[in-house]
Amino acid sequence: MTTYRAFEVTGNRTFRLVDRELADPAPNQVRLRVQYCGICHSDVLAVEGLRAHPEQPIIPGHEIIGAIDAVGPGVTAWHVGQRVGVGFLAGHCGECDPCRRGDFVNCRNQQQTGTTTDGGYAEFAYARTSGLVRIPDDLPPAEAAPLLCAGLTTFTALQQVGARPGALVAVQGIGGLGHLAVQYARSLGYRVAAIARGTEKESLARQLGAHHYIDSNGEDIADALQHLGGAAAVIATASSGSSMSPLVAGLAPRGKLMVVGAAPDPIQAQTAELIFGTRTIQGHLTGTPIENEDNLAFSAANGIKPLIETFPLAEAPKAYEHMLSGRARFRAVLDAAA
């Protein structure tokens, strides 16, 4: 092969299927033949023109599963044929101040897969070796793809909670992030409360592991959480700041509102709610490649799986629209070979 198919996007939601020239990987980089790529809500940064230069074409997608097809100069720890993944963070530099202090997530020279550097809506992709994730053999690749971002984000957010086993942890929003967060929280030994609008998702939430269900349309969320003893943490996954605001009053003393859902509107909190009870609001962004390997191993050991719908690569724009509409149950995944 000398070319490969890829979907480029420019401007606002302008997709174009193109043939790209197949190139050798750069130093400390690998080329991988994409098998599957999950579609994440964060893809809006590229597709909706929310990046720095939307007039320049970019290939979206940052939940990439594939096999290494070629390695660049200087690559010694990775080999052709190895199954790997690439998440939202495209590989830390190892030289900036945050990297030198071990804070690889906040590397100042790290690109974002599918937003500032080409991603996985394609037959091939390129990645820094510092951004690669080893994929366990017992994880089906289509199911592993969403775990690289949605899974990692919620898993590492829960690790920031620091609560005792059996403590109440709530998950707001039973969607692409939330349906995984419920499974992780249950497997980590927490008492889990699922929060969603309406009663339609109650049965699913309980099947995923929730001990309690709170209908935010019919109940006061804070009162419901306090009736259960107060939440040690709430994992807020909805893309709405206004829906997160009432959650603070439902926290137990020293409770944390862990914000993983990106929203266009602000979160509002009463200062007294924060001061009395020593409560905190904390943002959380994904994790490192080695933490992603921990995440995948934990998922495989505990049977944590995303609910997915697969689409052929040729239907990438349709799959993206399906995700954006909120109708996906719960993660859309592209099959690059279909």
pLDDT for residue 284? 97
Q: Tens digit of pLDDT for each residue in 20-61?
A: 999 999 999 999 999 999 999 999 999 999 999 999 999 999
Summarize the confidence of residues 73-87 as an average pLDDT: 98
Tokens 């505990």 sit on residue: 302
Judged against a pLDDT cut of 90, whether residue 1 lies above it is answered with no
Q: What is the mean pLDDT of residues 187-208?
A: 97
Residue 288: pLDDT above 90?
yes
- Residue-level pLDDT at 319: 98
Q: Tell me what the pLDDT averaged over the chain comes to.
A: 97
Which runs of consecutive H residues, i.e. helices, occur in 95-208? 97-100, 141-146, 152-159, 178-187, 202-208
Sheet with strand 280-283: strands edge to edge: 212-215, 191-196, 168-172, 231-236, 251-259, 280-283
Flag whether pLDDT at 203 surpasses 90. yes
Average pLDDT over residues 238-256: 97
Q: Is pLDDT at 74 greater than 90 in this prediction?
A: yes
pLDDT at 337 over 90: yes
Please classify residue 285 by burial: count the beta carbons closer than 10 Å to its beta carbon, then call 0-12 exposed, 13-18 middle and 19+ buried.
middle
- Domains of the chain from N-terminus onward: 3-150+287-335 (3.90.180.10), 161-283 (3.40.50.720)
Rounded to an integer, the average pLDDT of 291-301 is 98
pLDDT tens track for 131-148? 999 999 999 999 999 999
Assigned token pair, 332: 């859309």
Structure tokens belonging to residue 333: 């995944």
What is the Cα gyration radius of the chain? 20
Q: Helices (DSSP H) in the chain: which residue ranges?
A: 44-47, 97-100, 141-146, 152-159, 178-187, 202-208, 221-227, 241-244, 271-275, 289-302, 316-325
pLDDT at 315 > cutoff 90: yes
The per-residue pLDDT for 269 is 96
Half-sphere exposure of 44 (CA within 13 A, CB side): 11
